[in-house]
Amino acid sequence: MPLLRDFGAIVALQRGHPLAAALVILPPMLVWGDTGGPGVGPTAARSAKDTWPPAVGVVAGK
């Protein structure tokens, strides 16, 4: 039954590739996007004034 064995290998590759991408590539990309995306290093995190909703002191004018 080599035909069935080859079919199983192809299906395993087709299912394993997206799973590996989701587990290996997606988490670092989410962290990278959360820190500002392209051109922004990890030390240049967003300041408090760039967040939404604004802080209570900003709304109250203090």
| pLDDT reading at 20 higher than 70 | yes
What is the SS3 string spanning the chain?
CHHHHHHHHHHHHHHHHHHHHHHHHHHHHHHHHHCCCCCCCCCCCCCHHHCCCCCHHHHHCC
Q: Domain count of the chain? A: 1
Q: Which amino acid is at 34?
A: D
Its domain, for residue 40, covers 2-60
The pLDDT tens digits of the residues spanning 38-61 come to 665 555 555 555 556 655 555 555
* pTM of the model as a whole: 0.44
